[in-house]
Amino acid sequence: MSTSTISRLRSKSAHKNHKKATARPKLVPKPASKTKKDVQYVYFFGAGKADGHGKMKDQLGGKGAGLAEMTNAALPVPPGFTIQTEACREFMRTGKTSSGVSQQTLSALARLEKLQGQKLGTGDNPLLVSVRSGAKFSMPGMMDTILNLGLNDESVQALARKSSNERFAYDSYRRLIQMFGSVVLEIPKSAFEEVFDAEKKKRGAKLDTDLTANDLKQVIVDYKQVVRKHTGKDFPQQPLEQLTMSRDAVFRSWNNDRAKVYRRINNISDDLGTAVNVQCMVYGNLGETSGTGVGFTRNPATGAKEFYGEFLMNAQGEDVVAGIRTPVHISELHKLMPGVYNQLRDITSRLEKHYRDVQDFEFTIQEGKLYMLQTRNGKRTGRAAVRIAIDMVNEKLIKPEEAIFRVDPNQLYDYLMPNLDDKGGDVTVLTTGLPASPGAAVGQIVFTANDAVKMAGTATDKKPVVLVRGETTPEDIHGMEVAAGILTARGGMTSHAAVVTRGMGKCCIVGAGEIEVDEKKKEMRVGDLVLKEGDWISLDGTTGRVIKGRLNTVPASPDDPDLKKLMGWAEPFRKIGVRANADIPRDAVTARAFGAEGIGLCRTEHMFFAEDRIPHMRAMIMADTLEERKAELAKLLPMQRADFEGLFRAMDGLPVTIRLLDPPLHEFLPKREELMVEIGKLEITDPQSARLKEAREILRRVEELHEFNPMLGLRGCRLGITFPEISEMQSRAIFEAAVNVAKEGKKPMAEVMVPLTVTIKEMANQAAIIRQTAEQVFKEKGAKVHYHVGTMIELPRACIVADEIAVEAEFFSFGTNDLTQTTYGFSRDDIGTFLPAYVERGILKNDPFASIDQKGVGALMEMGVKKGRKTRPNIELGICGEHGGDPASVEYCHKIGLTYVSCSPYRVLTARLAAAQAGAADKLKVEGGRTK
């Protein structure tokens, strides 16, 4: 496993309790910071005793807390001190370091010098330190580090003498200048690299290590020149100046672009700040008995209980990371230095037991002596998380009710999706878009849905295709169905492409803005590169990487005994139901296999886009009279009925919530602008053609239905009220299907759902049609079935008048996609136009379409819950849509007392675990309360 893969692994524990930790700052602006004499800014650690301890991550960051804890446990940790996060926050507020921080830094340094019997950068045995960032949550490589601090023109000579290794000393010095130059003085790295490469060329050196001490002395002279040229000043020779400047640079690095992006992706608050760790240097590059390495107490990819890691002898940490030399498997250390190896195994085992979780550690061996530089809970894949949790229960390290919290519900997706295997081979990342739906897709590019169908071929001769579009629309659904993956240039995390593919469990990357898609020319451009239809492309839905060419994938295996075991522990805690959104029987079967307890949302409109149906749908919309409309609807009726029969059969005994037609009608018609262009062209080329006449006629109706903001137009129940015959036909199809399936001996449980109501009158109007149709069908068929009539609550007004609507509605299902759109006034299809600026400027931390905005949208939901229950105490309350599969949202739905959540079939596992965790958290709190 490469270092970059390790850094990508996610840890559940790092995210636990996160919400509480990132509570909003107080509303009232903070007073200007003063020197708070009584604040402890600096925490010392060394000689078996630390001021802090492992639970002080808020103040000391993960690294600082780990160092303190290890010191207290008498582990071999180079001594030093941690400047706590409050100092960073002060720095961010005021732009400078307060005198309190400065004074305490000096005192701690003095204490360190006394303990070591050295002076920073001074004397025959100069003290050298590292200055490293360390935030509460691990942000690997995002912030800055400075090593070898304390070296200058004099102390480098002392180091050379003391180490008897002149080359080592001067190499350390040039590294300091380079790191300090780029990090503290913000000189482009390239300026130093040019100097170094020139020296290597001059000396005919292939490797860095081919340069001699004298060569490095020349590099140092040139480096200092670079510093002078870029800053107008000399490289600071005063060790204390080096230290204070480095400390402040680390504070500043909290807000570099990398760090900000990482925090956004990982949902870490910008307000936390980083701690700074100042620690005595130890050197892994002092010869053949020195070395450095990283490791895990268990395999973070598979979860196997095996000591896992890699190291390099005679090397510094950055050499491992840089990949210049290939690291060696940790087992080799046993052969080379069995004593050190056993000590490391012993220490890390103790650490794992102490923290009761897998540890990710860093160590250095200096002249045969082992030093621990870091330990933290290790990030791991979903499969590894499950495996480790189960193993640790078996090992009696943790209890089953703890184990269920050791897996991030989102990680269960690993069980469902194939992954891109990007080891080996040429990985050319073309661009990175939004990772809308995870997994991997490898296939040949197509640019239209029809081409996708054509190129994908038949079931017996299937070819993988990747559909690349500007954006997708419901009319692309057949192409999306056959594609291995979807890539769009526009759209956000809840765009059509994103929503549909997540429902399909299909890899999708959206909003890859650097891509230009020319559907006419059938090509896409990324910068100068042009890819044409048929070219191979690989999508990594987990990271959003778009990769040129044909990579391999690693298939998924959802039926896993580990998973079953964990879910077996989790399920008894779950209080809230989990249903799935499914429009076709196949999805329903899948959902049920994943444990769905019903269908929470069947979008009937998806049934109308099929090839054999859309002509009737179009004809229905184009009809000028009620009679014509009814005739077309009559043709659609048997098809709808068959759909519903399939769903009722698949869900025998479980509720099936069917939403009446919802989208704007023009979605079913040809695009307005395309018609206009066609007409414009025909007027020139063939003004007498029948097609021109026809196109004009179609355009007339399209214009009538054209809306400026279709999201807020003729859709939802407004359709069923304007064209009652549609609601009637759909109700008839539902009830005929239910009666037919009931006659087969099955138990259909229909819940008919009216979309987009805002008044009781809308609800009453549609409920009357539905109930009358039901009675009619029951009379005709001579049989009855049980059913409910309810509504989606998806507009702010519906929440406000929920007490009225509940008079007619037997159930509510919160449609938080639309509710979020209207509460914020954000169109989820258009949010891409301003989201980048919002994220960059820190205005919107989380995408409210990904996770429920509890403060805003939640306030309306809670109003809806309260008012709905007031009128109808036993009302069934659900949520359908994207949020139903988001763990934080599921937890919230549990908290506000919904009856169930509904999500895409491929999120059912995630929702079940999230719901179980929410229930367990409640229960354990209560039990804790009882026992204490």
Task: Classify residue 668 by its DSSP letter.
Answer: G
Show Cβ contacts of residue 267 under 8 Å, excluding neighbours closer than 6 positions.
Answer: 15, 18, 845, 846
Which of 339, 568, 638, 842 touches a second copy (CB under 8 A)? 842
> For a second copy, which is the closer residue by CB, 16 or 706?
706
> What H or E segment, with its residue span, contains residue 860?
helix 857-871
Size of the site for a second copy (CB under 8 A): 69
Which of 395, 694, 707, 927 touches a second copy (CB under 8 A)? 707
- Cα 375 to Cα 294: distance, rounded to the nearest angstrom: 10
| DSSP alpha helix (H) spans, 444-584 | 449-456, 477-482, 496-504, 561-570
Contact positions with a second copy (CB under 8 A) in 863-892: 871
Shortest distance in whole angstroms from residue 578 CB to a second copy: 28
- Cα 511 to Cα 529: distance, rounded to the nearest angstrom: 18
Stretch that binds a second copy, among 76-84, 116-124, 536-544, 802-810 (CB under 8 A): 802-810
Which of 70, 445, 754, 857 touches a second copy (CB under 8 A)? 857
> For a second copy, which is the closer residue by CB, 122 or 759?
759
- Cα 38 to Cα 811: distance, rounded to the nearest angstrom: 57
Task: Classify residue 23 by its DSSP letter.
Answer: P
- Cα 302 to Cα 446: distance, rounded to the nearest angstrom: 35
CB neighbour burial string for 615-640, b if at least 16 within 10 angstroms, e if fewer: ebbbbbbbbeeeeebbebbebbbebb
Contact positions with a second copy (CB under 8 A) in 685-704: 685
Stretch that binds a second copy, among 50-58, 395-403, 640-648, 825-833 (CB under 8 A): 825-833
Which of 35, 331, 722, 846 touches a second copy (CB under 8 A)? 722
Any contact of residue 837 with a second copy (CB under 8 A)? yes
Any contact of residue 711 with a second copy (CB under 8 A)? yes
Name the one residue in this structure whose structure tokens are 């390790």: 6
Any contact of residue 841 with a second copy (CB under 8 A)? yes
Tokens of 810: 């037997």
SS (H, E, C) 477-511: HHHHHHCCEEEECCCCCCCHHHHHHHHHCCEEEEC
Pairs from 758-763 (Cβ < 8 Å, separation ≥ 24): 758/795, 758/797, 758/798, 758/801, 759/797, 759/801, 759/804, 759/805, 760/801, 760/804, 760/805, 760/807, 760/808, 762/717, 762/718, 762/721, 763/717, 763/791, 763/805, 763/808, 763/809
Q: Binding string, 483-502, against a second copy, x = CB under 8 A?
A: --------------------
Shortest distance in whole angstroms from residue 486 CB to a second copy: 18
The DSSP line for 27-68 is SSPPPPP---TT---EEEEETTEESS-TT-HHHHHHHHHHHH
Shortest distance in whole angstroms from residue 894 CB to a second copy: 22
Positions marked active-site: 496, 880
Which of 101, 281, 524, 760 touches a second copy (CB under 8 A)? 760
Any contact of residue 791 with a second copy (CB under 8 A)? no
Stretch that binds a second copy, among 54-62, 353-361, 478-486, 800-808 (CB under 8 A): 800-808
Stretch that binds a second copy, among 361-369, 412-420, 450-458, 705-713 (CB under 8 A): 705-713
> For a second copy, which is the closer residue by CB, 458 or 709?
709
- Cα 538 to Cα 485: distance, rounded to the nearest angstrom: 9
Shortest distance in whole angstroms from residue 928 CB to a second copy: 33
CB 777 within 8 A of CB 734: no
Any contact of residue 726 with a second copy (CB under 8 A)? no
CB neighbour burial string for 5-27, b if at least 16 within 10 angstroms, e if fewer: ebeebbbbbbbeeeeeebeeeee
Residue type, 698: I
Which of 402, 803, 810, 922 touches a second copy (CB under 8 A)? 803
Shortest distance in whole angstroms from residue 28 CB to a second copy: 7
> For a second copy, which is the closer residue by CB, 385 or 798?
798
Any contact of residue 859 with a second copy (CB under 8 A)? yes
Any contact of residue 633 with a second copy (CB under 8 A)? no
Any contact of residue 536 with a second copy (CB under 8 A)? no
Any contact of residue 459 with a second copy (CB under 8 A)? no
CA dist list (Å): 412 to 401, 544, 901: 17, 19, 17
Name the one residue in this structure whose structure tokens are 């469990």: 505
> What H or E segment, with its residue span, contains residue 837?
helix 835-840
Which of 104, 590, 765, 791 touches a second copy (CB under 8 A)? 765
Any contact of residue 626 with a second copy (CB under 8 A)? no
Stretch that binds a second copy, among 34-42, 240-248, 622-630, 817-825 (CB under 8 A): 817-825
Contact positions with a second copy (CB under 8 A) in 283-312: none
- Cα 818 to Cα 755: distance, rounded to the nearest angstrom: 11
> For a second copy, which is the closer residue by CB, 39 or 714?
714
Tokens of 539: 């999508």
Any contact of residue 833 with a second copy (CB under 8 A)? yes
Which of 324, 530, 593, 807 touches a second copy (CB under 8 A)? 807
- Cα 637 to Cα 773: distance, rounded to the nearest angstrom: 13
Q: Which of 673, 722, 681 is nearest to 699 (CA)?
A: 673
Strands 308-313 and 440-446: unpaired
> For a second copy, which is the closer residue by CB, 422 or 794?
794
Which of 217, 797, 866, 923 touches a second copy (CB under 8 A)? 797
Stretch that binds a second copy, among 213-221, 690-698, 779-787, 789-797 (CB under 8 A): 789-797
Any contact of residue 733 with a second copy (CB under 8 A)? no
Any contact of residue 721 with a second copy (CB under 8 A)? yes
Shortest distance in whole angstroms from residue 708 CB to a second copy: 4
> For a second copy, which is the closer residue by CB, 124 or 707?
707
Length of the chain: 932
Exposed / middle / buried, residue 506 (Cβ in 10 Å: 0-12, 13-18, 19+): buried
Binding-site ranges for a second copy (CB under 8 A): 27-29, 672-673, 676-681, 683-685, 705, 707-714, 716, 718, 721-722, 756, 758-762, 765, 794-797, 800-801, 803-804, 807, 818, 821-827, 829-831, 833-834, 837-838, 841-844, 853, 855-857, 859-860, 871
